[in-house]
Amino acid sequence: MKILVTGGGGFLGQALCRGLRARGHEVVSFNRGRYDALDALGVAQVQGDLAARDAVLAAAAGCEAVFHNAAKAGAWGSYRSYFDANVVGTRNVLDACRAHGIGRLVYTSTPSVTHRATHPVAGLGADDVPYGTDLKAPYAATKLVAEQDVLAANDASLATVALRPRLIWGVGDNQLLPRLVERARAGRLRLVGDGSNLVDTTYIDNAAQAHFDAFEHLAPGAACAGRAYFISNGEPRTMRETVNGLLAAVGAPTVDKTLPFAAAYAIGAVCEGLWHALPLRGEPPMTRFLAEQLVTTHWYDMGPARRDFGYVPAVSFDAGLARLRAASAPA
């Protein structure tokens, strides 16, 4: 089967391309850049912008399914830039599915679409958690709109499903871990609150597996069609244990210092004001949304994903840490 993967050059995107190729599929990746790793996998690459409708339609020509994984992520940027990539881009993918008669779309969403300040989520499924309100981050706000568009598009000719993996990490991570390590080594990393809030994460192989499981079960009228699912390891641990486990696995200093939530939130508000007012580079070290995320309990019920498409995490948190340690060990 010929399958389009958007954002195939990213951390999860490469895992999806690798897994699909291993399953014998022909894969086309739609990226902004070009990646040697995808060439090595035998993945065809089409360069373009998700917001360019004609480019997306051209990339999807001849495909029978789409894994829409590309998005503008991060904690900072204009709402317009996030909207163009995440909402306009997703609508272009949906248009491409309709134009080419593509019957299956697996969409990579995020638990952030359910963010509600510091309201905890403990052991609930997607059907039990409403969409978020007062989303202060354009990433979360635009991903919410995009997810709703994807689920609303589900019908008798196009089966769609939205997966919300929580904090993906693992060997080859070029997003979460590098940021943690950089701040830890610079002595600038703090736990917001006392670090006792329970959180869940997703090892990269498990995140990819959930996408493959959903894809294999997805069809018009299937149990998972038109629905969203939280995806994680199903192993809630404290924020302190999670962060320090990741840092220790790659040989970085662990963190003991804490910052009260009220202080972190105030710092986030000040940073947002400065980054809006001044031409400062990069992302602010703290935002109000990030402060809320770091102090709040977030873990989920994997029961719905197991019931509807057989998702069972294969790599435990500790096994993932062992893989990370082995990959980070000096040669």
For each of the domains in the chain, give its residue range(s) and CATH number, in order of start: 2-173+201-234+298-315 (3.40.50.720)
CB atoms within 10 A of CB 153: 21
| Contact indicator for 49, 20 with CB cutoff of 8 Å | no
Among 223, 192, 177, 204, CA closest to 289: 192
DSSP state of 84: I
Per-residue pLDDT tens digits of the chain, which is 331 residues long: 999 999 999 999 999 999 999 999 999 999 999 999 999 999 999 999 999 999 999 999 999 999 999 999 988 888 999 999 999 999 999 999 999 999 999 999 999 999 999 999 999 999 999 999 888 899 999 999 999 999 999 999 999 999 999 999 999 998 889 999 999 999 999 999 999 999 999 999 999 999 999 999 999 999 999 999 999 999 999 999 999 999 999 999 999 999 999 999 999 999 999 988 887 888 899 999 999 999 999 999 999 999 999 999 999 999 999 999 999 887 6
Q: How many other CB atoms are there within 10 angstroms of residue 310's CB atom?
A: 13
Per-residue model confidence as pLDDT tens digits over 294-324: 999 999 999 999 999 999 999 999 999 999 9
For the chain, count helices (H), then strands (E).
13, 15
Cα(301)–Cα(154) distance, integer angstroms: 24
Q: How far is CA 197 from CA 8, 64, 87, 301, in A?
A: 33, 43, 32, 17
Pairing status of strand 198-199 against strand 237-238 = antiparallel
As annotated, the active-site residues are 139
pLDDT, one tens digit per residue, over 93-116 is 999 999 999 999 999 999 999 999
Q: What is the pLDDT at residue 331?
A: 67
Strand partners, 46: 30
Rounded Cα gap, residues 9 and 89, in angstroms:
17
Q: CA 241, 247, 250, 251 torsion: positive or negative?
A: negative
Residue in the structure block whose two tokens are 């809630």:
236
pLDDT of residue 330: 79
List all residues 6 or more positions away from 75 whose beta carbon is below 8 Å from its beta carbon: 137, 139, 283, 284, 287, 289, 290
DSSP-derived 3-state class of residue 101? coil
Q: Which of 35, 28, 11 is CA-nearest to residue 66?
A: 28
Closest CA to 126 of 325, 319, 316, 308: 308
Quick check: 162 and 218 in contact, CB under 8 A?
no
So what's the pLDDT on residue 40?
A: 97
Q: How far apart are CA 214 and CA 16, in angstroms?
A: 13
